[in-house]
Amino acid sequence: MAIIPRERMLQDTRQSEIYNLLQLHRSCAISDLAQRFDVSDETIRRDIRQLEAEGQAYRVRGGVTLKENAVEAPYLVRRNQNAEKKQAIALKASELVEDGMTVLIDSGSTAYWLCKALSKQRNLTVITNALDVAREMAGKNGAKVFFGGGAIDSDYQSSFGRETEAFMSSFTPEIAFFSIGAVDSRRGLLDFHYPEASMKAGLAALASRVVALADSSKFERQGIVKALDFKQIDIFVTDALPPRQILDALDEVEVQIG
């Protein structure tokens, strides 16, 4: 871990940074955190106790581990988690897009990598509620971008809500790409953010083809809200062969491995 400047950080800021590190590494040693933030081991232990009290982490011998609950990291952290897997998925998914298509791309972290992978397709019409997608695609190879406005959620760097859904639902995309937060063989495709899941559910029926994007870390992960049934998607793109129970649930869906 790199050492940040020696200025003492405010406790709440330091705890937020520790939580972000846990989202990236899943666990951290107390000694490494103390060195990184230039504080004592006891100060880090107090921070960990606070994170534990808030249900975000729990103490282990000599360190701290992220609690496996239904909390997602802020978007910019999520975007870089499992980046290689997401890039592989994005490259595979980009093969489904042809010149001139009308494409809906949602606000999940894999959507950013999909836009990066759309380097050859020309004259696309892109509908999105994600700032990153709009910035990446605007004018790219002649693309036209329609951004679903409304209040922007800073953690997700995207807009949600009635105004956004009403605007985006006026389009009829040939293909829609939805990043999925969790894949449960019994309950379907899940998410951690109700407005995001609601938008997926509302827009999926408008597209001629629906593509779900999920890296293998999402398999049998616990989400908090249902976004889509398996039968509502046409193609499932991932980076590794899903376990048998998920493959059985995806029986009528085309599974593509990036």
Percentage of the chain beyond pLDDT 90 is: 57
User: How far is 158 from 131, CA to CA, in rounded Å?
Assistant: 6
Radius of gyration of the chain (CA): 20
Mean of the per-residue pLDDT values of the chain:
87
Beta carbons of 63 and 29 less than 8 angstroms apart: yes
- Supply the DSSP symbol for 172: -
From 47, 66, 85, the end of a domain falls on 66
Token code pair at residue 77? 């952290």
Work out the pLDDT band at 14, boundaries 50, 70, 90: confident
Express each pLDDT in 82-132 by its tens digit.
788 899 999 999 999 999 999 999 988 898 899 999 999 999 999 999 999
Q: How many CA atoms lie within 13 A of 56 on its CB side?
A: 17
Same domain, 40 and 79: no
Grouping H, G, I as helix, E, B as strand and the rest as coil, residue 29 is strand
Range of the domain at 143: 75-257
Taking each helix axis from N to C terminus, what angle separates 83-94 and 109-117, rounded to the nearest 10 degrees? 50
Q: What is the torsional sign of CA 147, 152, 153, 159?
A: negative
pTM value is: 0.72
Neighbours of 150 (CB within 10 A): 19
Q: How many domains does the chain have?
A: 2
Same domain, 62 and 154: no
Which residues are CB-contacts of 236 (< 8 A; sequence separation ≥ 6)?
Answer: 211, 212, 214, 242, 250, 253, 254, 255, 256
Tell me if 152 is assigned to some domain: yes
pLDDT beyond 60 at 69: no
Which residues are CB-contacts of 252 (< 8 A; sequence separation ≥ 6)?
Answer: 230, 231
Q: What is the CATH number of the domain that holds 58?
A: 1.10.10.10
Percentage of the chain beyond pLDDT 70 is: 89
